[in-house]
Amino acid sequence: MDSVIEVRHLTKRYKDVLALDDVGFDIQRDTIYGFLGRNGAGKTTAMSILTAQNLPTSGQVRVFGEDPYENAGVLSRMCFVRESQKYPDDATPRHALASARLFFPRWDQDLADDLVEEFQLPLKRTIKKLSRGQLSAVGVIIGLASRAEITFFDEPYLGLDAVARQIFYDRLLTDYAEHPRTVLLSSHLIDEVSNLIERVLVIDAGRIIMDESTEDARAGATNVVGDAAAVERALHGREVIHRESLGRVTSVTFLGRLDDGERAALAADGLDLAPVSLQQLIVRLTQQRTAGRDAFAPASQEGSLR
Amino acid sequence: MTTLESGSVTRPAAVRNRTRNVVRLQFVNTQTFVWVPALVLAGAWVLTMLIYWMLHSAGISEVKTGGGSQAPLWYFLVVGIQAMTLTFPFSQALSLTRREFYLGSLAAAAVSGLGMSLLFTLLGLIEQATDGYGMNGYFAYLGWVWEAGPLAAGLTYFVLTMLFFIIGFWSATIYKRYGTAMLTIVLIGIGLALVGLVALVTWQQAWPEVGRWIVDTGSLGLTLWAILVSALLAAGSYLTLRRMPA
Amino acid sequence: MIDDGKPLFVQIAEQVEDSIVDGSLAEETQAPSTTELAAFHRINPATAAKGVNMLVDKGVLYKRRGIGMFVAAGARDLLLTERRRAFALRYVQPLLVEARRIGLGPDDVANLIRAGAEPATP
């Protein structure tokens, strides 16, 4: 696999807060990534540094093999759609799209026009007066129509209703199929995007805690429900990431794969096996880590970043 | 494991044109750089004319001058601030480098400032030819500014627009990078330095020399000094901008 | 429609297989493309491609250069054999587990099945 982004030992410190803590990962070409994690986990900081909108405290970032900082050749091949993008004061969506067209070499005006219609975006109203959803639509349209070789969407759907989000997902998939490119999609709506993404990159408290294919991630955890004693027998020392009990019934989520034989054995033991959705898995993993941290540092810094 | 490809696939011409496109970016919304400054100048001109006309009809026939033509300069201060606080984050969303954005924005301000100076010079020439619209009232043709001719007057006006734009841009970079407290401290510092200079001059009883120097230097000479100040602030803004998060 | 129990690409492959088994997708006709599958199921094209490749490896689909994917001759028989073999494990075993839990013996189950099939038989 060839990577378009390489990150090594990346650290970003804001005064007393460590937003990124010695992070390293690669991003493969023409792949849709889910870049997931809680608020303040470091997603926006990481994407800002990758697009040279922010500077690392230490560590190395390579995009298309080069340092992106002040590098027009590299930057022009990327597009970063921010959740809280600022626009010039009296600009309208028309101005914003006309500007984007000037700088993205692979810009597709027909696609932009289509999307404007689909999102019913009022082109002549000033951006200040747009609703939250319409504001998001401006970013989404720029992100899709730019056809940049690497596109970052940071929570692109704020204020978009279910219908508009579906338009976004559908357009992203169809356009990606015709024009493969690398996409990093940061989202809280993990279940909504889990079928779109080929790989998951999960960041928690400034560290990467998961970097694998969506399929492996999903298969990597199972939920087993049944009689407490039988459940304990079934675990075989596997790593438990969540446990709930109601009377004699216990529900346990554990990491690790089961082969068909093991599945059959558990079923014969009267245990119910249920798949773990990506969202559940990530919530469990980040909760577990937060709990672990809290044991040492009661004052959690979640949400205090940015 | 990885084959990294260099950035050579991009069309170099497209990259080269990006700075020029920043000028177009700033002019996409013609309001900011064209219509508002023109309107401010026209408004100030109309008001000044009305006042001159009232004075003229009241029988006051001596030379009337006013400071109305400086009004657009203050607007350029605001444009400078907005170019930094609002257009800069947007330029980052368009994947521009800081250098491209900065040079392009300065060029856009220069294009706009050039237009304004042209209007200013034209008005001055008209006033010169018509003896102040026949009312002996001058809006643009201000003796001291024009003593070295229309070209020098135009240059002075142009440099002042750029200076105001750069001051706005510069103060916004300080504000964005280091916060309100730092901007206040810097401004107070500059204020103190100026007061100190005044105190020094007063102390040394050097005001006559200073006055003579100003007269000797003339508006053209002072304009050259303004260019130096602009250049220093412009360089300072760029250095701050280079390391600034969007 | 998409259940979480199996990998997504397996589910996609099984849905194509369903169409072949029930005859709606005849042998030697063109199968849906990766892009079509991805758009229809709203999934990543790479996942759809993985499902399609699985069917190619199995000999259910084959590629005609420049045209697309086609259903192989004999694909339906292949799938029927495979599914009949898996039937006991997939359906009968869980049935018996639940039957045991609620106190039904294999004969009771067999009777129930016969009764359930009654209206359909002439």
pLDDT, one tens digit per residue, over B52-95 is 999 888 888 888 888 888 888 899 999 899 888 888 999 999 99
Substitution target in A29, A214, A266, A271 with the highest count of C β-carbons within 10 Å is A214
Confidence check: pLDDT of A301 > 50 = no
Do A46 and A173 lie in one domain? The reply is: yes
Written as one string, the DSSP assignment of C64-89 is ETTTEEEEPTTHHHHHHHHHHHHHII
- Position B17 confidence tier, pLDDT thresholds 50, 70, 90: confident
Considering the domain architecture, whether residues A174 and A224 belong to the same structural domain is answered as no
Q: Which residue has the tokens 């690497």?
A: A150
Question: Comparing A189 with A116, which gets the higher pLDDT?
Answer: A116
Quote the domain boundaries for residue A38.
3-216
pLDDT of residue A1: 61
Physical contact, A and C (3 or more Cβ pairs within 8 A): yes
| Mean predicted confidence (pLDDT) in B7-13 | 45
Task: Mark whether A85 and A127 lie in a shared domain.
Answer: yes
Reported ipTM exceeds the 0.90 cut: no
Q: How far is CA B170 from CA A187, B84, B156, B176, in A?
A: 36, 8, 20, 10
pLDDT of residue A290: 67
Q: How confident is the model at residue B9 (pLDDT cuts 50, 70, 90)?
A: very low
Over chain B, what is the mean pLDDT?
86
**CB spacing of C97 vs A270 below 8 angstroms:** yes
**Predicted local distance difference test score (pLDDT) of residue A11:** 96
Q: Residue A50 above 80 pLDDT?
A: yes
Q: Measured in Å, how far apart are chain A's first and last C-alpha atoms? A: 34
Decide which of A216, A244, A270 is a domain's last residue: A216
Residues A190 and A123 in one domain: yes
pLDDT score recorded for residue A300: 36
Task: Write down the pLDDT at residue C101.
Answer: 85
What are the b/e assignments for B5-25, b being 16+ CB within 10 Å? eebeebeeeebeebbebbbeb
Query: Considering CB atoms only, which of A31, A176, A215 is closest to C7?
Result: A215
Residues A108 and A131 placed together within one structural domain of the fold? yes
Q: Which segments of chain C does DSSP mark as H helices, in order?
A: 8-21, 34-41, 45-58, 75-87, 93-101, 106-117
Alpha carbons B172 and A89: distance in angstroms, whole number: 15
Write out pLDDT tens, residues C58-117: 999 999 988 889 999 999 999 999 999 888 888 888 888 889 889 999 999 999 999 988
A261 touches chain C (CB under 8 A): no
Task: Tell me, yes or no, whether A168 and A271 share the same domain.
Answer: no
Residue pLDDT, tens place only, A103-160: 999 999 999 999 999 999 999 999 999 999 999 999 999 999 999 999 999 999 888 9
Residue of B nearest to A69 (CA): B97
Which of C4, C34, C46 is closest, CB to CB, to A198?
A: C46
Residues A130 and A254 in one domain: no
Tokens 């056809």 -> residue? A147
Looking at residues A52-61, what average pLDDT do you find?
Answer: 95
Residue B96 predicted with pLDDT over 70: yes
**What per-residue confidence (pLDDT) applies to B192?**
94
Enter the CATH code of domain C8-75: 1.10.10.10
Q: What is the rounded distance in angstroms from the CA atom of residue A132 to the CA atom of residue A188?
A: 17
Total beta-carbon pairs less than 8 A apart between chain A and chain B:
124
The answer to whether residues A130 and A273 belong to one domain is no
Q: Are C51 and C38 in contact (CB under 8 A)?
A: no
By Cβ distance, the residue of C2, C41, C44 closest to A32 is: C44
Chain A positions touching C95 (Cβ under 8 A) are none
Indicate which CATH number applies to the domain containing A39: 3.40.50.300
Beta strands in chain B (DSSP E): 64-65, 137-138
Q: Is the pLDDT of residue A286 over 50?
A: yes
Asked if B239 reaches chain A (Cβ–Cβ under 8 Å), the answer is no
Residue environment code for A141-158, b if the CB has 16+ CB neighbours within 10 A, otherwise e: bbbbbbbbbbbbbbbbbe
Which tokens hold the place of A24?
Answer: 């390293």
Cβ contact, residue pair A195, C7, below 8 Å? no
Stretch(es) of chain C classified as CATH 1.10.10.10: 8-75
What are residue A48's phi and psi, to 5 degrees?
A: -65, -40
In a domain, A242, yes or no: yes
Structure tokens given for B240? 């701050």
User: Do A107 and A193 reside in the same domain of the chain?
Assistant: yes
Distance CA B96, CA A69 (A): 10
Say whether residue B203 is in contact with chain A using an 8 A CB cutoff. Answer: no
Report the number of distinct structural domains present in chain A: 2
- Candidates A8, A66, A75: best to mutate against B (most CBs of B within 10 A) is A75
Which positions 84-103 of B are in contact with A (Cβ < 8 Å)?
Answer: 85-87, 89-90, 92-100
Q: Which helix (H) or strand (E) holds B218?
A: helix B207-242
CATH number at residue A243: 3.30.70
Q: Could you give the CA distance from residue B216 to residue B188 in angstroms, rounded to a whole number?
A: 30
Tokens of A269: 């033991």
- Could you give the percent of chain C with pLDDT greater than 90? 66
Rounded to an integer, what distance in angstroms lies between the CA atom of residue B59 and that of residue B68? Answer: 22
The mean pLDDT of C47-60, rounded to a whole number, is 94
Indicate yes or no: CB of A77 within 8 angstroms of CB of B5. Answer: no
> Is the distance from CB of B190 to CB of B198 less than 8 angstroms?
no
Confirm or reject contact between A88 and chain B (CB < 8 A): yes
Of the residues A179, A195, A216, which one is the last residue of a structural domain? A216
Q: Edge-to-edge strands of the sheet including A3-14?
A: A17-28, A3-14, A58-63
Please say if the pLDDT value at position B14 is more than 70: no
Indicate whether A305 belongs to any domain. no
Q: What value does the mean pLDDT of chain A take?
A: 89
How far is B82 from B105, CA to CA, in rounded Å?
11
Compute the distance between CA of residue A51 and CA of residue A47 in angstroms, rounded to an integer. Answer: 6
3-state SS string for A202-264: EEECCEEEEEEEHHHHHHCEEEEEEEHHHHHHHHCCCCEEEEEEECCEEEEEEECCCCHHHHH
A303 part of a folded domain = no
pLDDT higher than 80, residue B29: no
- The two beta strands, C61-64 and A272-275, are unpaired
Is the predicted pLDDT of residue C5 greater than 90, yes or no? no
Pick the range with the lowest mean pLDDT from A148-157, A244-253, A289-298, C108-117. A289-298
Q: Provide the pLDDT confidence category of residue A299 given band limits of 50, 70 and 90.
A: very low
Phi and psi (nearest 5°) for A80?
-120, 110
Task: Give the side-chain half-sphere CA count within 13 A for A149.
Answer: 18
pLDDT score, position B6: 42
A232 close to C (CB below 8 A): no
Determine the pLDDT at residue B1.
40
What is the predicted pLDDT for the residue at A293? Answer: 55
**Domain co-membership, A81 together with A118:** yes
Q: Are residues A223 and A212 in the same domain?
A: no
- Interface contact B205, partner A, CB < 8 A: no
Could you tell me if residue A281 is inside a domain? yes
Residue of C44, C50, C53 to mutate, interface with A, max A Cβ within 10 Å: C44
C35 interface with A at CB cutoff 8 Å: yes
Q: What is the pLDDT of residue B234?
A: 92
CA–CA distance, A145 with A143 (Å, rounded to integer): 6
Residue type, B30: T
- Indicate yes or no: CB of A195 within 8 angstroms of CB of C44: yes
Q: Quick one: pLDDT at residue A296? A: 42
A288 and A157 co-located in one domain:
no
Are the beta carbons of B28 and A85 separated by less than 8 Å?
Answer: no
| Domain presence at residue A126 | yes
Which are the contacts of A24, defined by CB distance < 8 A and separation ≥ 6? Answer: A7, A8, A9, A10, A208
Cα dihedral B147, B150, B151, B155 sign: positive
Our measurement of the distance from residue C34's CA atom to the centroid of its chain's CA atoms, rounded to an integer in Å, reads 18
What is the β-pairing status of strands A207-213 and A58-63?
unpaired
- Specify the DSSP class assigned to residue A294: H
Amino acid at A38: R
Q: Among partner residues C8, C39, C89, which is closest to A173 by beta-carbon distance? A: C39
Q: Which of A183, A216, A249 is the last residue of a domain?
A: A216
Q: How far is CA C26 from the centre of its chain?
A: 15
Give the whole-angstrom CA distance, residue A208 versus residue A187: 16
User: Is there a contact between A277 and C45 if contact means CB atoms under 8 Å apart?
Assistant: no
